Amino acid sequence: ETGVTQSPTHLIKTRGQQVTLRCSSQSGHNTVSWYQQALGQGPQFIFQYYREEENGRGNFPPRFSGLQFPNYSSELNVNALELDDSALYLCASSWSGAHEQYFGPGTRLTVT
């Protein structure tokens, strides 16, 4: 059974640029959620995708957007990067209807 994978591991971008982060869900999982973890904080929910549609969104601006593909993998796109977007971005997959979510190793984004 393959776990959740994310790419890239690390990324450095300049303020104002755009970034795309990628996630492959655990085998058999059809729901993907994205979280942002700032330093010293717990993960914060960005949005969730189920059956290729957004299925809930946290308190993040529209410049945070996502996609889910037919194979349940997902992308997180962030436009017009700001310094405060520097964080660990975590992807989690789960079965539809299950509470337990399984996380990937994350992508560390640094905005300079």
Give me the least distance between CB of 74 and other proteins, in Å please.
14
Q: Which is nearer to other proteins, 14 or 59 (CB)?
A: 59
CB of 7 to other proteins, least distance (A): 13
Distance of CA 5 to CAs 25, 52, 62, Å?
7, 18, 25
**Smaller CB distance to other proteins: residue 73 or 105?**
105
Q: How far is the CB of 16 from other proteins (least distance, A)?
A: 28
Amino acid type, 110: T
Distance CA(64)–CA(77), nearest Å, equals 6
Pick the closer one to other proteins by CB: 67 or 102. 102
Distance CA 107, CA 50 (A): 21
Name the amino acid, one letter, at 58. Answer: G
| SS3 category, 68 | strand
Which residues of the chain form contacts with other proteins (CB under 8 A)?
4, 6, 31, 33, 35, 40-45, 48, 50, 55-56, 58, 90, 92, 94-106
In this structure, are residues 108 and 8 in contact, taking their beta carbons and an 8 Å threshold? no
CB of 32 to other proteins, least distance (A): 11
Complex with other proteins: residue 51 or 63, whichever CB lies closer: 51
